[in-house]
Structure 1
Amino acid sequence: MKQYIFNIHDVVLLMTAAECLLLAVFQSILPTRARHDGRLLSAFLLIIAVASACTLILWNDQFSLAPWFEQTLLPYLLYSALLLKGPAIYLYVCSLTQRKLTLDRRLAIHLLPALLGLACIAVFGISSSDLRLATDTEQSLPTLAIEFIWDLASLVPFVYAAASLVQIRRYRIALKDEYSHYSEVELTWLSALAWGVFISWGWTMVVHVVAKFSSDIVADYMGIADNYLAFILINAFFAYSLTYAHQLLDTKPEEETHETVSEEAPSEPAITKVRHAMDVDKIYLKKNLNLEQFSERIDLPPKEVSGVINKHFGTNFFEFVNSYRVEAAKTLLADPEKADMTVLDVLLESGFNSKSAFHRFFSRLVGMSPTEYRKQALAAEASS
């Protein structure tokens, strides 16, 4: 018996599906996977497993399944997976870069592309045989519908991959706005994976376009390369999720990693030094101030400074410094002689180096925007 059911390219698809299933199970038992990101990664892996398995069944001629499954159910499973993998990866990235992502009804909007594709299959009664012959030249309505859902299955994941890159960029900007230094390792890994998804699904879209205008042989080889890219990508996702993903939501400024609080209460001389640096020396006016620079300025170890701020003042280093900056901004905003200063001038004069960080901290600590505070303060000064 020398007839082979699978060739090496089919084996790659089979391994991708099997590995995704195993990784999804593995993800579910990890202790850090109670969060949304763990569930979404498992969902993404299961979706890729379904897409790989359905692709294998659709294009492999050496074995067959029950006709009702292979001809009727398979198109629904395949297009559900192809049109849901984009939203899955996007929501996974959002769960890592947004601290309060909630899986509520609003996210159902991401199901619309999949529902549109499935509606086309149902309306036109598209079978697996129809999908394989989608490149026929006869431009009948069912053929146009098949081409449409193939176009949709190629374009939608690519768009979501691009949206994931935009989300990561926004998260990086937010970190820069709020912190002067932060750990880049986890974020760099996530960016690399998002770029990998973007390139892989971009290649899928190129393969789809080329298949319309080239020979079947060229399209087959490009499609095979696409399957290999997917296999490599899944392995990279597993390495990332196992090593770095659980740390991303805890990404904090590098300085805060030193803020381990000792059991002993801070000494009075240390408290006096910290208070003097803030109240008299106004060290908070220095932009991009970090814990090491602060500690060096007052000649105390970073650990001791961290203990003073945590134990005595009941906050962390960045909240402590920015609360002083907000008070300095309030003084400038309430001074009639400084009424010609712009809000940008005020935030820079107060020690902030980012407009968004200034507005975020000011609104949180004062309960109103800087502009509203200035209007009220100047009005109260005028009436008095």
Structure 2
Amino acid sequence: MTAFLCLLFALLLLTLKSSKRTSNIFLSLFLIQQAAIPLDILISFGEEFRSVALNYSPNLFYFFSYGYWLEAPLLLWYVRSIIYKNYSLRATDLVLLVPFLAYLTHQWIYFYSVGSVDRVAELQTYQLQTTEEYIHWITLLREMFRVALGVVCLIELQRYRRHLRTNVYSADHDELAWLTILVTSFTLLRAWSMIVVSLMILSVLFGVTVNFGAAGLLGNYTAFLLVSLLIFYSLGHAHVHEGIDRDVDIAEPKPIAPEHRQNVLDYIEAHKPYTNTILTIDRLADQIGLPTRTLSNVINRQFNCNFYEFINGYRVNEATHLLSNHPEKTILEVMALAGFNSKATFNTFFKKKTGQTPSEFRANANKPKTLDKG
């Protein structure tokens, strides 16, 4: 089921027209590797499949296990293609393929270069307990490699989340939460596989009894669920991210020209760009005519806040004006006109700045004034 689902949607993604073409390619390749893993499990440990594969060709054995070495780098590259603009592979990214190439070399030397008769004989007499010990340690190293890349994915996502909080119009990014949950789940699944391999080593070396069947089934069904959710995410949510420059946090901040602060204030007061609910720091920088990094430095260092706080401060001011002078407009209309696209964010910032909720502010603003008779 998992293999069929992965191959079906990999084909769909490769033929789908989308602005996220690079992301779709990485995801489709990741899904193909995810399909290879259950096929390897079926051939290696499924009694019926093992017999059929052995009769068909001994070359099928271990062939699909390459998926373990490729799916982790591909998931990382997929995540990066979502969060970075115009993402392309660098030489440092390709280093992650070294374990895969080392595995191919090992398999060629110790299995595929051996005669067909010897390969069949080896497979027919295969026993977990008689497998050379170093093979188990390579398998454990493989799972550790997959977990490590999952952690790298989470670090990249946390970096992106920090950027969104500082430089983007809204902190409510449910789509990013989806991706974070999925990557976390895949990383935990890999950690579970690492535990199973560790138990396997204990079983072989020390005779510890472990129910590998139940452990394997749990991992297989979990993988099926996660793949289904990942496909749902990719089709419904991944396209919303504009991405950031890959090296956005590397350069040191440059000195700020004194006139930049006034240029920013003049433009915002004249054009009210904050009323655009999808305003980002990149768009505002283009409108003002400043590099994005320069605008970010101006806001952070001249106004002592981040872009998110800076823009929402103007939005709250706009909302107070509308609430005081346009009683015919509903709270939600005021929220939208002021530039907020989230009721929770609107209420939070409004109360933080005014000490009242929007409803309380309107009620107090519209109270009739009493004359002082003293």
When normalised by structure 2's length, the TM-score is 0.62
Q: Take 1:325 and 1:33, find their aligned partners in 2: how far apart are those partners?
A: 27
- Amino acid paired to 1:71: P
Match status 1:222 vs 2:215:
yes
Q: Structure 2 stretches of 5 or more lacking a match?
A: 113-118, 245-260, 308-374
| 1:72 matched residue in structure 2 | 59
Deviations 1:220-262 (A, max 9, x none): 21111111111111101011001101112369xxxxxxxxxxx
**Aligned: 1:164 with 2:133:** no
Q: In 2 relative to 1, CA 131–321 (structure 1 residues): closer, same or farther, beyond 3 Å? A: same
- Is residue 105 of structure 2 the alignment partner of residue 119 of structure 1? yes
Where 1:353 maps in the other structure, the secondary structure is coil
Give 1:209 shift.
Answer: 1.2
Q: Return the match for 1:145 from 130, 134, 141.
A: 134
Which residue in the other structure is 2:228 paired with? 235
- 2:87 corresponds to which residue? 101
Work out which of the residue numbers 163, 188, 192 in structure 2 matches 1:174. Answer: 163
| Pair 1:30 & 2:27 matched | no
- Superposition map of 1:319-338 within 5 A: none
SS in 1 for 2:151: helix
- C-alpha displacement at 1:135, in angstroms? 3.7
CA distance 1:134–1:41, shift in 2 (3 Å)? farther
Asked whether the equivalents of residues 182 and 229 of structure 2 are also in contact (C-alpha less than 8 Å), the reply is yes
* Higher alpha-carbon deviation: 155-164 or 65-74: 65-74
Q: 1:223 to 1:304 in 2, by over 3 A?
A: closer
Residue range with higher mean Cα deviation, 218-227 or 117-126: 117-126
Alignment partner of 2:178: what SS? helix
What are the Cα deviations for residues 311-347 of structure 1, in whole angstroms up to 9, with x where unaligned?
9x99347969986786x79xxxxxxxxxxxxxxxxx5
Equivalent AA in structure 2 for residue 174 of structure 1 = H
Q: Structure 1: state its 5+ residue gaps.
A: 1-14, 252-277, 285-290, 330-346, 356-384
Question: Greater relative contact order (Cα 8 A, min sep 6): structure 1 or 2?
Answer: 2
Among the aligned pairs, what percent are the same residue? Answer: 21
Amino acid at match of 1:74: F
Aligned length: 278
What is the letter of the counterpart of residue 246 of structure 1?
H
- CA deviations on 1:98-135 (whole Å, 9 max, x unpaired) are 11321355432111111222222233338696699564
Give the 3-state SS of the residue equivalent to 2:189 in structure 1: helix
Cα–Cα, structure 1 residues 132 and 46, in superposed 2: closer, same or farther, change >3 Å? farther
Mapping for residues 10-49 of structure 1, pairs under 5 Å:
15-32=1-18, 35-49=21-35
Aligned letter for 2:152?
Answer: A
Q: Give 3-state SS (helix, strand or coil) of 1:125's partner.
A: helix
Q: Which residue of 2 aligns with 1:187?
A: 176
Query: Residues 131 and 146 of structure 1 are in contact (CA less than 8 Å); yes or no, is this contact kept in structure 2?
Result: no
Partner of 2:36: 50
RMSD of aligned Cα (Å): 4.0
